Structure 1
Amino acid sequence: MNLTDILQQAGGIESMASELGVPPAMARQGAEALLPAILGGFKKQAQSAGIEGLGGLLGQLGGGGLLDSVLGSQPTPVDQGNDVLGQIFGSKDVSRTVAGQAAAQTGLDSGLLKQMLPILAMMVAGYMAKQGGQSGGGGGLGDLIGNVLGGAVGGGAAPSAGGLGGSLGGLGKMLDMDGDGNPLDDIMGMVNKMRG
């Protein structure tokens, strides 16, 4: 089961769809296009800060409560999602680039995809925090990140286990220009070129 399926089962895709006023199928399509970049961002955090560092960061950002905020009946506090995106992408330019690439792939409006990004980031961070139990550090969170971020991103060890195995699809391959399995460094390169 990929991460999109997990988030759909948890009710996250449906919740995001109703909040943005779009059909669930459209929300799922957007999620599948955006999740590889979000997961790539978390993988980069895990690589630079270690699993414990990522667990601590998830806790600071709101932990499992992030997923609860998306699933709750109140409007999603997207500022928290933007904080998550700031941590994993480092700049709004990357978020814009990710949304633009996903729009080109799916035909969905990039403005809509930009609205989906913080909500999806909250769902992924909250899900990882809940599954990892935060205090587990190297245990639960490490295994979960191995599974969620493994697969196509981790070098192909377990393509069926990771959310990216199924959802990386054309966008991930298109963005992963150097073939290292992590499209985020290539996105960052594109953003730097745009600035220069």
Structure 2
Amino acid sequence: MDLNDILRSQGGIEAIAGQLGISEAEAQRGAAALLPSILGGFGQRAGGASMGGLGGLGAVLESLGGADLTREVVSPAPTPVNKGNDILGEIFGSKEVSREVAGEASQSTGLDPALLKKMLPILAMLVAGYLSSQSGRTGQGGGGLGAVLGQVLGGMGGGNAAGGMGGGLGGVLGSILGGRR
């Protein structure tokens, strides 16, 4: 499952480009660079028992709009990025991590870090909306969300056990986050 293709097919890349006044190619490059960290953040948040694990993450996503988050981004109205910022706060924990993510993505894409910081909440809403819509299809509660996250992360192809997290899903998340929390 390639989330880049999913975002493009749902109109997410086009919406990001239009809202930020950049080309679709730039939006695609930025999204491709930011997605691993966003997905890794979702995976870390979902795996953290102290933060409610999958059930807690699912409840947070639903409280922010669930599957409607994607529609809010692709609609002609301005995106309510406060919801995206709330999601980033949940998955990254601090604005400092968001700045780091944007800085790293800037180095790999050549895009301005300020532009990537603006892209982060929009992309977080697209991903959260997608995960919410798919988790409802694969089952109720955290199991559905966990299955979707596992499929998306598995589709990214990172399986090296890094960050001291062991193998399997933890290894994928460790390689994505590079030890970031």
Tell whether the structures are fold-level matches, with TM greater than 0.5: yes
2:66 pairs, out of 63, 68, 78, with: 63
Counterpart of 1:99 in structure 2 is: 102
Counterpart of 1:34 in structure 2 is: 34
2:144 pairs, out of 140, 143, 156, with: 140
Counterpart of 1:45 in structure 2 is: 45
Distance 1:139 1:92 in 2: 29
Secondary structure in 2 aligned to 1:187? coil
Task: Report deviation, 1:143.
Answer: 2.0
Verify: 1:13 aligned to 2:13, yes or no. yes
CA distances 1:74-123 after superposition (whole Å, capped 9, x unpaired): 01111110000000001000000000000001111111101100000000
Task: Report deviation, 1:140.
Answer: 3.2
Is the Cα contact below 8 Å between 1:8 and 1:14 reproduced in 2? yes
Please, what TM-score do these two structures have when normalized by structure 1? 0.79
Is the Cα contact below 8 Å between 1:16 and 1:119 reproduced in 2? yes
Is the Cα contact below 8 Å between 2:163 and 2:178 reproduced in 1? no
Secondary structure in 2 aligned to 1:83? helix
**Aligned sequence identity (%):** 54
- Residues 61 and 184 of structure 1: is their aligned pair in 2 closer, same or farther, counting only changes over 3 Å? farther
Secondary structure in 1 aligned to 2:22? coil
CA distances 1:105-150 after superposition (whole Å, capped 9, x unpaired): 111111110110000000000111111128711443332122013x
Distance 2:15 2:33 in 1: 18
- Residues 103 and 178 of structure 1: is their aligned pair in 2 closer, same or farther, counting only changes over 3 Å? farther
Q: How many residues align?
A: 169
Counterpart of 1:155 in structure 2 is: none
- Residues 178 and 29 of structure 1: is their aligned pair in 2 closer, same or farther, counting only changes over 3 Å? farther
- Residues 30 and 178 of structure 1: is their aligned pair in 2 closer, same or farther, counting only changes over 3 Å? farther
Distance 2:59 2:82 in 1: 19
Structure 2, gaps ≥5 residues long: 166-170
Is the Cα contact below 8 Å between 2:73 and 2:125 reproduced in 1? yes
Please, what TM-score do these two structures have when normalized by structure 2? 0.85
Distance 1:100 1:137 in 2: 34
Task: Report deviation, 1:184.
Answer: 2.7
Task: Report deviation, 1:177.
Answer: 6.1
Counterpart of 1:119 in structure 2 is: 122
Is the Cα contact below 8 Å between 2:54 and 2:143 reproduced in 1? no
Distance 1:104 1:185 in 2: 16
Distance 2:146 2:163 in 1: 27
Distance 1:87 1:50 in 2: 12
Q: Which amino acid counterpart does residue 137 of structure 1 have in structure 2?
A: G
Task: Report deviation, 1:178.
Answer: 5.8
Distance 1:113 1:99 in 2: 5
Counterpart of 1:158 in structure 2 is: none
